[in-house]
Structure 1
Amino acid sequence: MSALGRVVRSGVGRRRVQTVVIALVVLVAVAAAVLGGSLMVASTAPFDRAFAQQHGAHLTAQFDAAKVTADQLAATAKASGVTAAAGPFPTAAVNPVDDHDRPLPPITIAGRAVRDLPVDAVTLAAGRWVSGPGEIVLHTDGRLPPGLQPTVGDVVTLPDLPGSPRLTVVGLARSVSETAGGWVVPEQIAALTPTGAVAAYQMLYRLAAADTDAQVDAARAAVQAGVAAGALTGARSWLTVRLHSVGNSILFVPFLIAFGVLGVLMAVLIIGNVIAGAVSTGTHRIGILKALGFTPHQVVRAYTAQALIPAATGAGLGVVAGNLLVVPVLSQTNKIYGTSDSGVTPWVNVVVLAGALVLVSLTAWAAASRAGRLRTVDVLAVGRTPGPGRGQWAARLTSRLPLPRPVTLGLAHPFARVLRTATIVAAIAFGTAAATFAVGLGSSLNEIQATEDHGDVAVMAGGPPTEPKPGEAPRMMTPPEPPDPVAVVKAITAQAGTSGYSGSAMTEVTVAGLTGPVEAHAFIGDNSAYGYRMISGRWFSQPNEIVVATPFLTATHTRVGDTIALTDHGTQLRVRIVGEVFNTEDRGMEVVTALTTLAAAEPDLRPLTYDITLRPGVDREAYVAGLNAALSGAATAVIAEEGTDEVIIIINSLAGLLTVLLLTVAALGVLNLVVLETRERVHDLGVHKALGMTPRQTIAMVIASVVVTGLIGGVVGAPVGVFLQRLVVTGMAGSAGFRLPDSVVDIYHPAELALFGLGGLAIAVLGALLPAVWASRVRTATALRTE
């Protein structure tokens, strides 16, 4: 082995603690960078990637089975512009009821024996594909709140059909093209088609050109030309589905990018700090090597190799760890985006690994070349401790504090090497910013979730569900006929424990300047504003006043205070916009107003549901039982469902995981730099021990040396985290066209910010514990012999 090789090997073996720290820091930093990079990739065109992965259908067409045969439909696969087709699949429209006798949304069921097709290869989220009659796979988009999405093993009933067929849910799947709400075997469709109903077929097409509506329409016309007139009863373009899906997923892109960038920047900062510190501690040894005849170039090569060996080991393990972390994380983002990513994109691994090694090489080269260029006598004179006079002002200042001397000595240490201290502050600030951001993001999302809560108890039209008799199929609840509002309001207001109530009815109106209808949500009662968050203006207080969300104002080019025209059942209504509210219903295009506003157009419009808030301490179950007795079957009171949207759970889980990673990297960075400081001052430590410093005092001195940096890092990092939270949350909303109320954005309390600031101190102390214990155990004679 060459002399240079022996120097490298001895350097790596002699500094075992530093070698292990470098490997650990690079491992965690690379893992965070792999995860961050993967999240940024997952944020790029998620719908388009899912569409490509599932070979989505550019055109979904519905046909009348009485006017076209299956063979004729199969022949349309050769229509101009069509590159691939699947079908025909028999279809049926059904109105299912779940295990709890609750009506589910009407869905179209397709008879399809095979899941993985050249067009619309459906992705299974749970369970398996149908294999025979009596089974169904339901479509899921992963966004329904817990308790509302049927699960594998549930039974859905179709009470509108003869014999009330029952289907067991054997799987949950997702079609990026949204071609059906459920799938059964083809032979099951006949039993699901009502007597006298027209049978239907579905065809799925992929097109050679489908980037514009005109291109899709041209292909549709070509398909239609191949069948009899009137056979094509409906068609949907993938561009329509894409618009809706992108609007949902784009909310989370700023979040993923923010944490991805944090992970990558944190990795760069910590790796650079660790390597620069590792080389700087070898300055004295570099002088010895130069005195023995090593050239500056050989010195640089030696110390670069010493840094690369543990760094390469850590980077390799970090890539493996990052890939292992990405698998469960991507399974969560797949639920948001509908993608089927199963691992890291290979180029992410390559870029992160190469980037880490290049960063280590450049940092080590820069630090070693600086020492290598110095004259041998100057390098030997530098030694391992700071130059005389550096930080003396801080030592004199802290000595005046009414604190034990070991503590004041530690407090003065950071000022001896200002640049190194700045790197520790930066690492702690990153960790603090990540924690502040994650907690703030979770609080903001919880506030958004709270806007969907409109009461403690809900009253719905129809009688209470009844248990079926043995052998009897479950029965649907009483048809939702609006109950008499006078009777319902009388029962609600008379019930002890009622704090407030609101009744709501839904209808559709047209708005001047908009081409399609929009939903109108009409209220009665004294608590209609409960759960809503105002952005500007006020809540409506009289007829002909409305409140709307930001997308509505944007689409109609109006603002609060303007008057617009609504048309309801042919009657034009002049209404005034009195408030801008945060309301995501109907993608922010919903009109919210008093029921009396619509009375001129729909005098018989009645509330279908009622939301009730209770006084503090009222027992919900007892209240519901008493109210149902008072309603006497005219309507049904139930406890309002509680739960957090799955998407919010996913975001909070990701934020927690990434925060732990970043805090770990920050703590390891502090650990490494404190180890360097402790080793550089080991001779001073021996002097202190010889003068009577006890192990406990030694630990106090080392920990005190990071107190100032921890506090500064926390003070710097907490505001950065707040800024990042505001930037990302407003970016998430702005990407969907919404503005946010102050209650969603301004979620930090002064006491919380103070705790986040102290969190920097916690990171610093955590990172300094191991070096402090090591320093307390060093023997005095060993420390005094070290120079």
Structure 2
Amino acid sequence: MSALGKVVRSGVGRRRVQTLVIGLAAMMAVASSVLGTTLLAVSGAPFADAFAAQHGAHLSVQFDAGKVSAGQLSTSRDAKGVSAAAGPFRTATVTPGAGEAGPAWPMHVVGRPGPGRDVDEVDLLEGRWPTRPGEIVLSKASAVIPILDTKVDFPGLPGAPTLTVVGVARSVTGTADAWVVPAQMTALTAPGSGGYQMLYRFTDAATAARITAGGKAVTGSLPPGAAVGEQSWLTVKKTAERDTALYVPFLMAFGALGLVMSVLIVGNVVASAVGTGTRRIGILKAVGCTPAQVVRAYVGQALIPAGIGTGLGVLVGHLLAVPVLAEAGEVYGSSSLAVEPWVDVAVAGGALGLVAVTAWGSALRAGRMRTVDALAVGRNTSVRRGRWAARLSARLPLPPSAALGLARPCARPARALAMGAAVLFGAVAVTFTVGMGASLGEVMKARAHDAADVVVPAPRGAFGPGAPGPGERPPEVDQAAVAAAVESADGTELYYSATTLRATVSGLTGTVDVTAFTGDASWGGYTMVEGRWFDQPGEAMVPTPFLAATGTRIGDKVTLGGLAEPVTVRIVGEVLDPRKDGMQVFTDAGTLTGHTDAGTLTGHTDAGSLNTAETGSAPQGPPETSHHIAVAPGTDAAAYTDALNTDLAPLGVTAQTGGPDSGSDMVMTLNALSAMLTLMLVAVAALGVLNGVLLDTRERVRDIGVHKALGMTPRQTITMVLTSVAVTGLVAGVLGVALGVALHGWVMPAMGESVGLRLPDSVLAVYQVPELLPLAFGGLLIATLGALLPAGWAARARTATALRTE
């Protein structure tokens, strides 16, 4: 080993605390940066690969067959900007019966002669494409369970056709729930219904404005009102990237905090090593080391622990990325998602480069130092700096040991500033994590709508454990009797029922959940983003993703299909609700009266009656009706529930205390990641303080010996050392809380936007003064924890040994 290598190894071995601090800081920064950069890089990879392979449609448009002909639609493929087109294909919204294939929900069926090639090449996952009437291919994302050779019947259509599932497929842009041969569409289309579908690819489809321009071009020559709905590939892409994109702003924030802290700590450690090793630097130069070699020696002492920490950080980042990437790739069947090598190289190289540059800047002073001056100075301590602070603190009504400690930061302002910066970032992380946890809790409360004290949940129908077997009807519940029991129960103060059924919306494939309320449900925990709660039939509230997917806003109208007849509602409010991908509509039960079984929605008939022929509606799965109760003040919810269950037992339902489960795997993952990264940042901050106090204590060991000789007790010594970081910790904590609140105000809206949600003030304004005060003292706590070990060492130092130390 070269002489320079021995110097580096010796320096690393002597400064074990500093080595640990640099390694931990580098590991934390690299781990969060690897994970965040990977998710940012591959969040759209599964969708992008599938879209390119299947020549996905940039725009799919639904047309009213009563207003436009197939010949007119064929001419739209020649519109300006269209590079390829497929169609027109006949379409129909139909509802299968509950049978072998699972629940009966409305589905969007398209008649196509084959899977296509140039536009929206449907990926056949199992089986084959239908070749004759009587066969159907189901989408993998269909509500109907896609199992080969099962039968799907349509009892609500003339002739009650029954089709056999011959294949399972996937359209990258979700253009249909099922496909049949064109000849089959006649039997699946009720008189006076049905439509056409056209799929387009454009020469330029990179932005929403380009897609809008393309849509106007293809519909410009068609009759007004012919187009009844459209879907952009950008909307589907955003949905595909949503889950992984949620983590990116959060991880980037922690990565930035870690990198900045790493730079500050490395600079402080190297500068302190130079400052306390002045005589050693002089000796190195005296024995022949050049200034460049001295600089490289100190840079190497920082790069070794930083390199180890970087390697561990890359490993931790890979381990954390595995479950998130697996979930992202599962949607499109991609099993090759992994951390890209360039991410490892870029993050590791960037981190080590920052460490090297920072260490070089701090070590440059050692290279410029004259040999004679370094040998003559020895320990480079200042006896004059901070005297004014010492005189000022001596006048305060404090014990002498505390006064000495308060004055110490002024003697080493640069070191105190470095320790304060470490505490600052630790306080930022704690404040941000507390706020993020509170905000996610508010989102989960909005998701669960758990304001009710007692809930009578919907019975398990066609879903979940205990569901009826194929062909069996779910249990019927007399909802009118349930409502009467709730209303007459002693202790009921507020009450509403919520009936959920499914419907279609023009331009969207699949179905949306329509929740119809009987009674005032505005107190039920629904968080408004904008607009107002509906106050009359015909008005509705929808989540933000619904507005984005349909291209609507508050004040617009949408038409719900899949019922006995179309229902038009006007959107009056935007509600925060991440369930069902935001594809939900909330309205009054009166909105659907006359368009479906009104008795079902008002609680005066059996839930299963929606399937009966008397309703005149297309058959679909049974609605799910739940009842939500707020008990009167002073009423014991558990006793109320027991009494209510006595009345409900003959009806086949059971009440339970509290709202539905509001848990979420994603929220648990975010909370776990934030807690782990915050603990790492706090640990690094405390070690940064420990390093600074340890250096300061060793520098003034002779002064400590003098104080002990004059009568300072070990307890007073500990007080002096801890007080020396009190002001620094308190100021850094206050500033850290302010910056943490600002960081929360930037990251949380970005996280909401990444999943298509707008977050209201109730989710963002989660910090209260009683909570901020303890957080402000968090900086003091971090500083105190970091100073405890050096304080203990100073208290145990023998007076004679300290006095002999030079």
Asked if TM exceeds 0.5, the reply is: yes
Aligned: 1:630 with 2:595? no
Summarize the Cα distance change of 1:29–1:405 in structure 2 as closer, same or farther, 3 Å threshold.
Answer: same
Which of 710, 716, 720 is the equivalent residue of 1:697? 716
Read off the aligned partner of 1:743 and give its amino acid letter. Answer: S
Contact 1:505–1:605 at 8 Å: present in 2 too? no
Contact 1:500–1:527 at 8 Å: present in 2 too? no
- Cα deviation per residue 1:310-334 (whole Å; 9 max; x = unaligned)? x415632552365146425632564
Summarize the Cα distance change of 1:331–1:296 in structure 2 as closer, same or farther, 3 Å threshold.
Answer: same
Distance 1:179 1:563 in 2: 28
Distance 2:439 2:670 in 1: 11
- Residues paired across the two proteins, number: 663
Summarize the Cα distance change of 1:409–1:371 in structure 2 as closer, same or farther, 3 Å threshold.
Answer: same
Aligned: 1:323 with 2:319? no
Summarize the Cα distance change of 1:458–1:574 in structure 2 as closer, same or farther, 3 Å threshold.
Answer: closer
- Cα deviation per residue 1:72-131 (whole Å; 9 max; x = unaligned)? xxxxxxxxx9xxxxxxxxxxx99699xxxx9899999xxxxxxxxxx9999xxxxxxxxx
Read off the aligned partner of 2:804 and give its amino acid letter. Answer: R
Summarize the Cα distance change of 1:278–1:334 in structure 2 as closer, same or farther, 3 Å threshold.
Answer: farther
| CA deviation after TM superposition for structure 1 residue 723, in Å | 1.5
Summarize the Cα distance change of 1:179–1:280 in structure 2 as closer, same or farther, 3 Å threshold.
Answer: farther
Contact 1:331–1:342 at 8 Å: present in 2 too? no
Summarize the Cα distance change of 1:566–1:58 in structure 2 as closer, same or farther, 3 Å threshold.
Answer: closer
Which of 428, 434, 450 is the equivalent residue of 1:433? 428
Summarize the Cα distance change of 1:752–1:357 in structure 2 as closer, same or farther, 3 Å threshold.
Answer: same
SS at structure 2 position matched to 1:747: coil
1:116 counterpart residue number: none
2:93 counterpart residue number: none
- Cα deviation per residue 1:747-779 (whole Å; 9 max; x = unaligned)? 112121111111111111111111222222333
1:458 counterpart residue number: 455
- Cα deviation per residue 1:509-560 (whole Å; 9 max; x = unaligned)? 7889999986543211134441111234442334444434445566777766
Contact 2:142–2:510 at 8 Å: present in 1 too? no
Once the two structures are superposed, the pairs formed by residues 102-251 of structure 1 within 5 Å of their partners are 197-202=162-167, 242-251=237-246
| CA deviation after TM superposition for structure 1 residue 437, in Å | 1.0
| CA deviation after TM superposition for structure 1 residue 352, in Å | 4.6
Read off the aligned partner of 2:777 and give its amino acid letter. Answer: L
Once the two structures are superposed, the pairs formed by residues 290-369 of structure 1 within 5 Å of their partners are 290=285, 294-305=289-300, 307-308=301-302, 311-313=303-305, 315-316=307-308, 319-320=311-312, 322-324=314-316, 326-328=318-320, 330-331=322-323, 334-335=326-327, 338=330, 345-369=340-364
Read off the aligned partner of 1:661 and give its amino acid letter. Answer: M
Aligned: 1:599 with 2:593? yes
Distance 1:10 1:585 in 2: 59
Summarize the Cα distance change of 1:460–1:770 in structure 2 as closer, same or farther, 3 Å threshold.
Answer: closer
| CA deviation after TM superposition for structure 1 residue 277, in Å | 2.1
Aligned: 1:32 with 2:24? no
Read off the aligned partner of 1:459 and give its amino acid letter. Answer: V
1:541 counterpart residue number: 535
Which of 494, 506, 519 is the equivalent residue of 1:525? 519
Aligned: 1:661 with 2:657? no
| CA deviation after TM superposition for structure 1 residue 576, in Å | 7.0
Aligned: 1:423 with 2:418? yes
Which of 478, 492, 498 is the equivalent residue of 1:498? 492
Summarize the Cα distance change of 1:540–1:55 in structure 2 as closer, same or farther, 3 Å threshold.
Answer: closer
- The normalised TM-score by structure 1 is 0.71
1:609 counterpart residue number: 625
Read off the aligned partner of 1:613 and give its amino acid letter. Answer: I
| CA deviation after TM superposition for structure 1 residue 427, in Å | 0.9
2:760 counterpart residue number: 741
Moved more, 586-595 or 667-676: 586-595
Summarize the Cα distance change of 1:51–1:642 in structure 2 as closer, same or farther, 3 Å threshold.
Answer: same
Summarize the Cα distance change of 1:476–1:50 in structure 2 as closer, same or farther, 3 Å threshold.
Answer: same
Aligned: 1:719 with 2:738? yes
Read off the aligned partner of 2:167 and give its amino acid letter. Answer: Q
- Cα deviation per residue 1:287-317 (whole Å; 9 max; x = unaligned)? 3444566543343244334x14xx4156325
Aligned: 1:398 with 2:417? no
Distance 1:544 1:473 in 2: 35
| CA deviation after TM superposition for structure 1 residue 250, in Å | 3.0
Distance 1:190 1:353 in 2: 53
Contact 1:56–1:121 at 8 Å: present in 2 too? no
Distance 1:387 1:463 in 2: 77
1:372 counterpart residue number: 367
Contact 2:477–2:651 at 8 Å: present in 1 too? no
Read off the aligned partner of 1:504 and give its amino acid letter. Answer: A
Contact 2:702–2:805 at 8 Å: present in 1 too? yes
| CA deviation after TM superposition for structure 1 residue 43, in Å | 1.9
| CA deviation after TM superposition for structure 1 residue 180, in Å | 9.5
Read off the aligned partner of 1:410 and give its amino acid letter. Answer: G
| CA deviation after TM superposition for structure 1 residue 403, in Å | 1.7
Moved more, 653-662 or 534-543: 534-543
| CA deviation after TM superposition for structure 1 residue 500, in Å | 1.8
RMSD: 4.9
SS at structure 1 position matched to 2:449: coil
Aligned: 1:646 with 2:665? yes
- Cα deviation per residue 1:714-733 (whole Å; 9 max; x = unaligned)? 11111111112221211122
Query: Identity over the aligned pairs, expressed in percent?
Result: 43
Read off the aligned partner of 1:612 and give its amino acid letter. Answer: H
Aligned: 1:489 with 2:483? yes
Contact 1:319–1:349 at 8 Å: present in 2 too? no
Read off the aligned partner of 2:455 and give its amino acid letter. Answer: A
Moved more, 671-680 or 376-385: 376-385
Read off the aligned partner of 1:609 and give its amino acid letter. Answer: T
| CA deviation after TM superposition for structure 1 residue 584, in Å | 3.3
| CA deviation after TM superposition for structure 1 residue 710, in Å | 0.8
1:275 counterpart residue number: 270
Read off the aligned partner of 2:518 and give its amino acid letter. Answer: I
Summarize the Cα distance change of 1:675–1:606 in structure 2 as closer, same or farther, 3 Å threshold.
Answer: same
Read off the aligned partner of 2:525 and give its amino acid letter. Answer: G
| CA deviation after TM superposition for structure 1 residue 681, in Å | 1.7
SS at structure 2 position matched to 1:674: helix
